[in-house]
């Protein structure tokens, strides 16, 4: 039977307050407690475990430096998750700036003709341009929902907007994407 460890068993709020005062052990417990969830969340948004690890590491560094600014220490989990989401979205934006059309390759059946492969790549390039042209709020909601598979409620929490706004942003984004892809019908 393991001996009780008051730091390991402490609630998040107490750990966050202690870590804000410089207690590295309390911060380490928070990292172990929430690190896995943060990695899964980042990987789901980014589609890459390697990038997710980088994002989580960056967020932990940022959190250590900014814990003293956290108004409600008991909300440390949602604060960390919001930072992970924001940092993941930043990575996606940077990717878009340097993305190559070849990076958008759709899985192709082995029996696809060269003409069909070119057509699919052209469609994906057009989709990338249409998505890049969406207003920020619409693009963020669309990327989190359609590429990340994130629920409406999680998107609302992540972007700090109401669920109704998420639904509206997604509806407008989908309408603009349909209009932008009309030539491919």
- Which pLDDT score, from 0 to 100, does residue 60 have? 95
At residue 16's C-alpha, the angle toward residues 140 and 61, to 5°, is 55
Tokens of 81: 């998750």
| pTM exceeds cut of 0.85 | no
What the chain holds in terms of domains, given with CATH numbers, is 1-98 (1.10.1740.10), 103-185 (1.10.10.10)
Task: Write 129-132 long-range contacts (CB < 8 A, 24+).
Answer: 129/180, 130/176, 130/177, 130/180, 130/181, 131/177, 132/96
- Digit-coded pLDDT (tens) for 64-95: 999 999 999 988 988 998 899 889 888 877 76
- Digit-coded pLDDT (tens) for 93-108: 776 554 444 444 445 5
- Digit-coded pLDDT (tens) for 114-136: 887 788 778 887 887 888 788 88
Tokens of 119: 């057509």
């Amino acid at each position: 039977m393991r001996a009780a460890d008051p730091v390991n068993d402490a609630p998040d709020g107490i750990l966050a307050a202690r870590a804000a005062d410089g207690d590295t052990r309390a911060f380490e417990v928070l990292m172990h407690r929430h690190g896995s969830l943060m990695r899964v969340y980042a990987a789901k948004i980014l589609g890459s475990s390697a990038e997710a690890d980088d994002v989580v590491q960056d967020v932990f560094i940022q959190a250590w430096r900014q814990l003293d600014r956290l108004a409600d220490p008991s909300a440390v989990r949602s604060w960390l998750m919001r930072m992970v989401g924001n940092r993941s979205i930043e990575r996606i934006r940077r990717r878009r700036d340097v993305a190559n059309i070849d990076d958008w390759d759709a899985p192709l059946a082995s029996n696809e003709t060269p003409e069909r492969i070119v057509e699919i790549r052209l469609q994906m390039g057009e989709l990338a341009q249409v998505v890049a042209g969406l207003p920020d709020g619409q693009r963020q909601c669309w990327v989190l929902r359609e590429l990340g598979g994130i629920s409406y409620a999680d998107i609302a929490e992540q972007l700090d907007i109401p669920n109704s706004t998420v639904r509206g942003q997604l509806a407008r984004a989908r309408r603009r994407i349909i209009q932008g892809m009309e030539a491919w019908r």
